[in-house]
Amino acid sequence: MVVGHGMVAHRLVEAVRSGDDAQLWRIVVFGEEPRPAYDRVALTSYVAGWDAEALTLPGADYAGDEAVDLRLGDPVVAVDRDRRRVRTAAGLVQHYDVLVLATGSVPFVPPVPGRELPGCFVYRTIDDLDAIRVAVDRARERGDSPAAAVVGGGLLGLEAAKALRDLGLTPHVVELAPRLMPLQVDEGGGNLLRRLVTDLGVEVHTGTSTDEIRADGDRLRAVLGDGTELDIDLLVFSAGVRPRDELARACGLAVGERGGVLVDDSCRTSDPDVFAVGECAAVNGHVYGLVAPGYAMAEVVAATLLGGQASFPGAETATKLKLLGVDVASFGDVHATTEGALEVVLADAVAGTYAKLVVSDDAGTLLGGVLVGDASRYALLHPLVGSPLPAEPAALLRGDGAEPGAGAEALPDSALVCSCNAVTKGAITEAIVTEGASTVAALKAATRAGTSCGSCVPTLGRLLTACGVEQPKALCEHFPFSRAELFEIVRATRIGTFSQLIAGYGSGHGCAVCKPVVASILASLGGGHILSGEQATLQDTNDRFLANLQRNGTYSVVPRIPGGEITPDKLIVLGEVAKDFGLYTKITGGQRIDLFGATVDQLPHIWRRLVDAGFESGHAYGKAVRTVKSCVGSTWCRYGQQDSVGLAIRLELRYRGLRSPHKIKGGVSGCARECAEARGKDFGVLATEVGWNLYVGGNGGATPRHADLLVSDVDTETLVRVLDRFLMFYVRTADRMQRTSAWLEELDGGLGHLRSVVVDDSLGIAAELEAAMDRHVATYTDEWKGVLDDPDKLARFTSFVNAPGTPDPTVSFRVERGQRVPVSLGIPEVTSR
C-alpha cells in the first residue's frame, strides 16, 4: 500500500511494476488530491495555460493495469500497525502487507495574526493556484491595479512571485533573512539577485518579518516588522515546507528530531513492514526537499520489494535554476563553511553577473560555488567539486581557456593536500621517497593525511603513482578489487545494482571513480538502459545526457554512420536538422558528422528528428565502441582487394553500444595502402588477396601506438569470431580508463598470451566469450530511442529543473566561417574573411 500519490509515489509504483518479479505485488495507492500524480516541480508553468492535464505524469492513472488500484480523493487518516491496516477519510479499512508512506510535505505557514483571513493562500498544489486565480480575477473586477505579497524569499517564494507576476500582479517578496534565497546563495549573490529581481518589477523586503495581516475592506494590509504596511489584494505563504509525518507520529513510528519519518539507508522505518520515501522521510535524520532524492528513495524501496538489496546513495544538492528569468546556480560548500575555506569572487555590476568559487585553504581544491546572472560555467565547474583545481580559481571564473586536466603532481610542494590535518604535498612526497611509504595506508600512518574526512585519499594515490610507486589494483577506497575482479563478481553473482554491489563487496557510498565503472560493467552485462533506475545516478556527465558536453555548456550530437557510408537522403536530414537547430557541423576523423551547440532541452527534439530518419546514437559520449572507419575498398578503388565498406558496416553494427573500460575505435582498409588508418585503431583489419589480417592494440592521440598483428589471411567468419573473443576478453580484464594499447602492453605474456587465449583457446573460455558477444548483439537497443520512448527518462533533459522546456539564454554564439561557434571561456575571437 502506498499512502500518497505525488511524483515520488508514482516513481515507486512504476519501479515495482517494471521489475522482473512485479507479479508478486498488488499495489493499492491512496491519493489525497482528486487527480493523479502531476509534475509539481513545474507547477508555476500551470499559470501559462491552466491546463492540469499538461502537468499530469504519463501513466499516472495506471489505466489497464489490473495490479494497481488507484483511489483518489480519499486520504488515509489512521494506521493500525498491529493489525496492518489503514482507515481512510471515507471510512474505508484496507489491509496491507507492506506500507509505504509517501505523504510529502505541507507549506509552512508562520503564526502570523490574520493568516486565516480570506485572501491568504499557500502555494503547493493545482488547487492552490486555482484558488489564487479566482482571487486575482476578483481583484481585477474592482478596477484597481492588483498587488500581492509573498511571505518567503527562498526558491518557493520566488516561484510564487513569478506566478503572481505572470498573472499581472505587482508582487512584494518578504524574507526574514537578510537576502533572497539564503540557503542557495551568499550575501554577494543575494544582493545581485535582489537587484535583478527588482528590475523585473518585484518589490523585495529582506531582513524583516510579516507581523500582522489585517482586513481592509475587500483588500488586505500586511504589516511588516520594520513598520512598512503593504496594501495588497492577496497574500501567499511560501516560506518553506514541513514533512507530513502526522500519520507516523499517531501510529508510534520514530520521527526525526526536526520532523520527518525516521528511516535507514533502505528507507525502512522503525517498523520493518513500513517504508517512507520522499519529502516525508528523514533518511538517518535528514529530510530532503527535492524530488531527485525522492526518486532515489523510490528506487531503493522498489529494489527491496522485488527481492534485491539497495541503499540510499545520498543526494546531489547542487542546483541550476531560472527564477523570474534570472539564472541562479549553486553547488558544494556555498557558504564556505569548510574550515579554512577561501572565496574568490568576480562581480560585474554592469553586466549583472556574480560568480564565486569556494576553495580549500591551499587554493588547490574546489569546494563549491555560486553563480548569479550567468550560469554558463556551471556545467564545467560543478564536476570539479572536491577535485584539484586545474588552474587558478579566478582564471576558471573568467574562462581564460583553462580546462580540467592538471593533477596533484602539478601542485607546488607547499600546496595543502590534506587541509584537515595541514599536510602538504612536500610532506607526502617526502614520506614516499625518503620513508618508503608505498601505499595509501602507509601514507596515512606516516603523515595523517586522509585520516579525517578522507576527501584527499584519491590524491594520495595519484601522488604515489607520480613518484613511481606501483599501486595496488584496488579500484578506489570503496572497493578493494580491480575493475576486472569487480566484473567477474557482478557476472558471477548477477548483481544488478550499484547499491547491491557496494553493500556486498565494498564500503561507503561510492565515488566518482567507482560509480561510472560499475555502471559500465552493468551495461556490458546487459543491465538495461543506462538511464534506468539507480543506473542513471552512476553515469558520467556525457553518459548522463547521451551527448558530449562542450566548452560552453552545450552538447554535441553524433549519430551513427556505420563505415562512413550514408545515403543522400540521410545526408540531407543531417543538414536540415543542423540548420533548424542552428548547430555547428563538422566531419569527424571517424567518418561521421558532429552537430555542435545543442542545449540540454534541445537534445530530445534533435534525436526525434534523427531517429525518425533512421539514425541512432553513435555513442560518441560513452566508453564504448565508437566507429569502424573504412576506405571505399574493392567497390570503387582500383587497388582494393576486399569489400572494406561492407565489412566495416557489419563490424560497427555488430559491436555498436558495447560498453568497455575505455572508448574503442576500429578500422577496415581494403588494401595495404591503409587509407582507413586501421593500424592506428584498437582493432584494425587489412584486406589481403586471400582474406583479412587482424591487428589489435593500436592507438592514436597523445601516445600513438601501431597495432600488433594477431591473425592473418583469415576468412570473414573466422575474423569476426576472433574479434568477438578479443573485445570481450578486453572488456572483462582491462582496468578502468585503460585503452587496448596500454592493456596489451601490461598484459602478462603480452601478444603471445593474448593470441593463446583468443585464437588457441588456451583458457577454454572462447565459447563463453563468443556467447557473451552474441548476447550483446541480440539485446542491443538504441539509447536515444530508449529515452524518447520513456517519459521519465525524457524528463531529465531540461536546462532548468523548475522550468522544463525553457532554453538556456546564457548560451551565446558568434559567427565564424559561416557557422555559429561559442562565445565563452575568454577565447579570443578570430576574424575570418
> H or E segment at 733?
helix 716-733
CA-nearest of 632, 792, 800, 654 to 719 is: 654
**Is 281 strand, coil or helix?**
strand
Residue 418, marked binder: no
Residue 585 CB burial class (10 angstroms; 0-12, 13-18, ≥19): middle
Please give the full DSSP string across 679-725, using - where no structure is assigned: GGSSEEEEE-SSSEEEEES-B-TTS-BPPEEEEEEE-HHHHHHHHHH
Residue 453, marked binder: no
Q: Distance (Å, rounded) from C-alpha 515 to C-alpha 489?
A: 15
Backbone phi and psi for residue 231, each to the nearest 5 degrees, phi listed first:
-90, 115
CA-nearest of 682, 670, 570 to 615 is: 570
User: All 3 cell numbers of residue 212?
Assistant: 500582522
CB 192 within 8 A of CB 172: no
Length of the chain: 833
Q: Distance (Å, rounded) from C-alpha 535 to C-alpha 496?
A: 9
Residue 280, marked binder: no
Q: Distance (Å, rounded) from C-alpha 454 to C-alpha 460?
A: 10
User: All 3 cell numbers of residue 442?
Assistant: 602507509
Residue 675, marked binder: yes
CA-nearest of 246, 14, 2 to 791 is: 14
CB 402 within 8 A of CB 391: yes
Tell me the CA end-to-end span of the chain in Å, nearest whole number. Answer: 69
CA-nearest of 49, 50, 37 to 11 is: 37
**Is 151 strand, coil or helix?**
strand
Q: Distance (Å, rounded) from C-alpha 657 to C-alpha 546?
A: 12
Binding residues for siroheme are 675
Output the known binding site for [4Fe-4S] cluster.
631, 637, 671, 675
In the annotated binding site, the residues are 631, 637, 671, 675
